[in-house]
Amino acid sequence: MIIDLSMPVNEQTVVFPGDAKPVFEQAGTLETVGFVDHVIHINNHLGTHMDAPGHMLGKDKLLSEYSVDRFVCQATCIDARGKDLLTADLLSDVELKPGEAILFYTGAGDNYTQQSYASDYPKIDLGLANLLVKKGIKMVGVDMISFDHDEPYPIHKALLDNDVLLIENLINLKAVVGKRFRLHALPIKLDLHAAPARVVAEL
Ligand SMILES: [Zn+2]
């Protein structure tokens, strides 16, 4: 079974505070040119997307330069509902293998269509980020608009500085919470440090 963990992208998709709102502008119409197409203006962190180290740390490597092997691996989704702060003890009963991915289901993503989604989400403790690095986790995903709330973005930096790729704005994690599955998190091959991604779980 394949489960879609990706957010729909449209002009109503909730953006990170301060980011430009998405605009879809119709270019061609059947009447004018015989086909329908659009010019889309979106932040590259809109909707379900992946962050690479250059997003925060001034590193040169582009997301498009990663091998696609990096985007497909075994994953576990941890139940992190009902918490204001996600801490390292969430991992105490979880078998973590180097090279795998971890997703955290906080419940924030259940309200992804509401404006409150942009601000109503838990914080992540630095101890949890450091433990994920120590365990050799290579991708971390959340059903939240960001891994941090504001500057200096310590959680992003702790993970990205160790080449852990980040996935933000996941949805439907309720369908995979507590499970192990194969994660396919494929960003568009943009020559940038982040890109929208189609993310699915294969159970
Ligand atoms: Zn991002």
Q: What's the pLDDT at 66?
A: 96
pLDDT band at 56 (very low <50, low <70, confident <90, very high): confident
Q: What is the pLDDT of residues 61-107, one digit of tens each?
A: 899 999 999 999 999 999 999 999 999 999 998 988 999 999 999 99
Residue 45 Cα to ligand 1 midpoint, Å, equals 5
All residues at 6 or more sequence positions from 181 whose CB lies less than 8 Å from its CB, including other chains: 74, 75, 77, 201, 202, 203
- Centre of ligand 1 to C-alpha 31, Å, is 38
- Cα 117 to middle of ligand 1, angstroms: 15
Q: How far is the CA of 30 from the centre of ligand 1 (A)?
A: 36
Res 111 pLDDT > 90: yes
What is the Å distance from ligand 1's center to 194 Cα? 6
Q: What is the mean pLDDT of residues 4-27?
A: 97
48 Cα to the center of ligand 1, angstroms: 9
Is the pLDDT at 59 greater than 80? The verdict is no
Residue type, 171: I
pLDDT digits (tens, 9 = 90+) for 167-178: 999 999 999 999
- The torsion angle over the Cα atoms of residues 144, 119, 55 and 167, rounded to 10 degrees, is 0
Q: Model confidence at 113, in pLDDT bands (50, 70, 90)? A: very high
Q: What is the CA radius of gyration of the chain?
A: 17
